[in-house]
Amino acid sequence: MIRFINHIKHKRHSLPLPKLFFVDQTIFPTSKIPKPCISKRIQYRSFSSKIESQLFSQALIDTDSYTKIPGRTIIQVEGADSLELLQGLTTNNMPLIGQGGPGFLQCFLYGNGRVLADAFIYPKNFGSTFPHQIYFIEIHAELGQTLMNLLRLHKLRSDVSIKDVSSEYSVWSIWGPSERALIGKPSNPFTRLPRGSLVYKNCEYSGAQIWINDNRALGMGVRIIIPSKEVRKFRFTLLAISSACLPNGFTRVTPDEYKLRRILKGVPEGPSDFVNKVSFPLELNLDYMNGGINLVSHPAK
């Protein structure tokens, strides 16, 4: 037995090492991987590296810019039970925006915990004297009807009305070095409502009443919802107010600049970045993007 062990110790230095293969940042012996699998992995890896090199070769526009985001559906949820309905379907904590303020990112899930859609929820910032809050859900256009079906399925007898208002509003993204100057308690808000009727939390976007500080990643800027067509209300034109919400001194760019910025910062958005009915919220980095408070813990009741 001792002779056999010494023989092995002597031979192990002269034995050829098994060939190793690098696959997706993991080292595997080639004997463990079938040849067809190796060829496919090599082809896939080289393709992804090529795409990454193409993307990172383009520089981001760091100047003050804004653009209209196409392909978004806006669903209005209104009623006394709207907060309770959304609280049971989303991954974030709805009471955080129950009294107004900026919106937040969250996900709608199926019963098995898989992702139906990622979306933003914005409160329509009315005062506390209003009978109930109104919420806008911004979602990818391909999943808008699916979400409306889900909301109607869970509505039952709740005092909630659900309506698609995509034709009345549009979504804009604003970013750049001067974006922080746009956030703060506006001295002259663009509204004819009586002073004190809007909810201010010292973090409002100057001009728009429906907005969010896009904190999915550093540098994603501010996201606002403004009327997209001329609507006469309270004897003034909402379209004129919408134009005033877009910042002076900022350059309008194409939506491709926003998309490139989002991809380079690793921010998923829409069904092209996750697999519907398959992906989990954590696979979308929802916890890192401040969109999944309820994934960690629920507040004490």
Residue 157 has phi, psi (to 5 degrees) of -105, 15
Domains and CATH numbers, the chain: 62-189+198-284 (3.30.1360.120)
For 45, 50, 99, 157, 283, the CA distances from 26, given in Å and listed in that order, are: 12, 20, 49, 53, 20
The pTM of the full predicted model, rounded to 2 decimals, is 0.69
Q: What's the confidence (pLDDT) of residue 121?
A: 95
Residue 42 has phi, psi (to 5 degrees) of -60, -45
pLDDT tens for residues 188-201? Answer: 444 444 444 444 44
Instruction: State the DSSP H helix or E strand holding residue 21, giving kind and residue range, or none if neither.
Output: strand 20-23
CA distance 182 to 116: 33
* Pick from 106, 180, 110: nearest CA to 136: 106
Which residues in the chain land under pLDDT 70?
A: 1-61, 125-131, 183-209, 229-245, 292-301
For 38, 173, 215, the CA distances from 212, given in Å and listed in that order, are: 46, 10, 9
Residue for token pair 């653009």: 67
Which class for 223: exposed (0-12), middle (13-18), buried (19 or more C-beta within 10 A)?
A: buried
For 64, 259, 262, 268, the CA distances from 177, given in Å and listed in that order, are: 6, 19, 17, 23
Given a contact cutoff of 8 angstroms between Cβ atoms, the answer to whether 74 and 164 are in contact is yes
CA distance 208 to 247: 11
Residue for token pair 């907005």: 211
C-alpha triplet 164, 166, 172: angle, nearest 5°: 140
* Pick from 91, 82, 76: nearest CA to 144: 76
- Six-digit token pair at 158? 């709740």
CA distance 96 to 294: 12
Q: What's the confidence (pLDDT) of residue 178?
A: 83
CA distance 156 to 10: 77
Q: What's the confidence (pLDDT) of residue 144?
A: 95
Given a contact cutoff of 8 angstroms between Cβ atoms, the answer to whether 231 and 239 are in contact is yes
Q: What's the confidence (pLDDT) of residue 98?
A: 85
